[in-house]
Copies of this chain bind each other. A is one copy, B any other.
């Protein structure tokens, strides 16, 4: 099913340059698109493809409006505009509600109308599932969990007991929510488990990536606020709180009881130590290790990017040579002092 380009422009609030009647039925990349496709250009390193594209239309920023050889939608945020149009052209296909005969649903559950529960999924005692929820194959929903309207557990998702999921959540396969965290007291060399009694509260519009893990709280809940987006393979320890609209890239880890503010971003592989407080609008670049609280908005980093091995060996040698340099510097200063030469600040 196609759409008129003019209609799309109107629906997403973009400025149309070109043929409003041009019919669009799909999105595609600039370099592979053909008739009927709309593409976009958000990353300037792909501009070389614009001149030669066979797409029917393209989404561009105002600066590039004049360089388009084809019909264009002009938007201050081409990527956002693209997201909206892709969603119109390729909506999530609807599903047929129902509980697959191989699914196992325990007693005392409240399953609303319009819910799908897939093959070999297990819903334990006392679970509450709101209308429009999709639970794919092979999921486990532990006792007493609650899942809000229109949320989607793609497949093989595990919710342990006592997890609350808001509305419109999207949880990818292999995610584990509500596992018992690393609470250990040391008794003369042996570890004694600290009971993990809390749950997890997930807000609305949260995305959780594949194989991401979120531990339950020790006493109260671990809290993921509305609009938080978690990529794959992230580890969120017990008692962590993550503020609204914070986005965390893959392989990041947050240790116990740390609070992250709103609208933060954590790059891939970032590690936050425990018991920290990170303010709003704080951004950490990839693989940064964070060992203290940061309350001020801003950009923070802490890693040495890859160089050639020979350069790298030099870097390590330089750092080790610094004590020697400092001593030689002091010796020179003393010699000059001994000469009676007056000190002048550099």
Binding site for B on A (CB under 8 A): 27-29, 32, 43, 45, 77, 79-80, 82-84, 86-87, 90, 92, 100, 102, 104, 118-122, 124, 136-138, 140, 142, 154-156, 158, 160, 170, 172-174, 176, 179-187, 189-195, 197, 207, 209-211, 213, 215, 219-220, 227, 229, 231-233, 235, 237, 245, 247, 249-251, 253, 255, 263, 268-269, 271, 273, 275, 284-292, 294, 298-309, 312, 314-316, 318-319, 321-323, 325-336, 338-339, 341-346
| A122 near B122: Cβ-Cβ < 8 Å | no
Sort A-B residue pairs by CB-CB distance and give the 6 closest, nearest first: A330-B346, A179-B210, A80-B185, A331-B346, A104-B119, A122-B137
Question: Which residue of B has the minimal Cβ distance to A32?
Answer: B220
| A140 near B321: Cβ-Cβ < 8 Å | no
CB-defined contacts of A327 to chain B, threshold 8 Å: 345-346
| B332 near A336: Cβ-Cβ < 8 Å | yes
With the chains together, A32 CA to B207 CA distance in Å? Answer: 30
With the chains together, A291 CA to B194 CA distance in Å? Answer: 33
Residue pairs across A and B with Cβ atoms less than 8 A apart, 5 shown, are A87-B193, A104-B120, A155-B160, A269-B271, A269-B289
